[in-house]
Amino acid sequence: MCETEAVLPAEIGQESARIVGYGSDNDNLRTMHLESVEEKRKRTKVRMNVYRKRMNRSYNKRVYTRVFEEGDLVMRKIQHNGEKEKLGPKYEGPFKIVEKAGITAYYLEDTKGNKCKRPWNAQHLKK
């Protein structure tokens, strides 16, 4: 069953509000509106950049980057494979930083001159 709405012949001749409101200056108003869209986009982009900077600043507020130089002496966090000793040492070393492997990764060398096989991340090292 298709439902349709009955329209009286008197209503057919009436113009809608959209047609009544359409004037000769409507083209000018439409052009001005389209020109203002670019300005709104630029303002929104600036606002979004400010918002992103503020979010990055608040997110990274407590991040402390550890930067080491070649030749620095560091302690390395002990990696437990089995049971952890509650009162045991948490760091071992000292190790000498031999080279940089990435942004925060370093190759280490112990006091005997043996180079570690893999690089260590700075979050597992301390001076």
pLDDT digits (tens, 9 = 90+) for 67-111: 888 999 999 998 877 777 778 888 988 999 999 988 889 999 998
Whole-model pTM? 0.52
**What is the three-class DSSP state of 98?**
strand
Question: What pLDDT is stored for residue 20 in this prediction?
Answer: 67
Residue 111 lies in a domain: yes
In a domain, 119, yes or no: yes
Residue 122 forms part of a structural domain: yes
How would you class 120 by CB atoms within 10 Å of its CB: exposed for 0-12, middle for 13-18, buried for 19 or more?
buried
What's the domain count of the chain? Answer: 2
Residues 44 and 81 in one domain: no
Q: Is 79 exposed, middle or buried (0-12, 13-18, 19+ CB in 10 A)?
A: exposed
Domain that holds residue 55: 12-59
Based on the fold, state whether residues 21 and 49 are members of the same structural domain: yes
Question: Would you say residue 104 lies in a domain?
Answer: yes
Residue 20 and residue 14: Cα distance in Å, rounded? 10
Average pLDDT, the chain: 84
Please give the torsion angle defined by the CA atoms of residues 65, 66, 69 and 75, in that order, rounded to the nearest 10 degrees. Answer: -170
What percent of the chain has a predicted confidence (pLDDT) above 70? 84
Any domain includes 114: yes
Q: Is residue 46 part of a domain?
A: yes
Which CATH number goes with the domain that contains 122? 2.30.30.140
Dihedral sign, Cα of residue 23, residue 28, residue 31, residue 36:
negative
Is 33 among the domain residues? yes
Residues 117 and 80 in one domain: yes
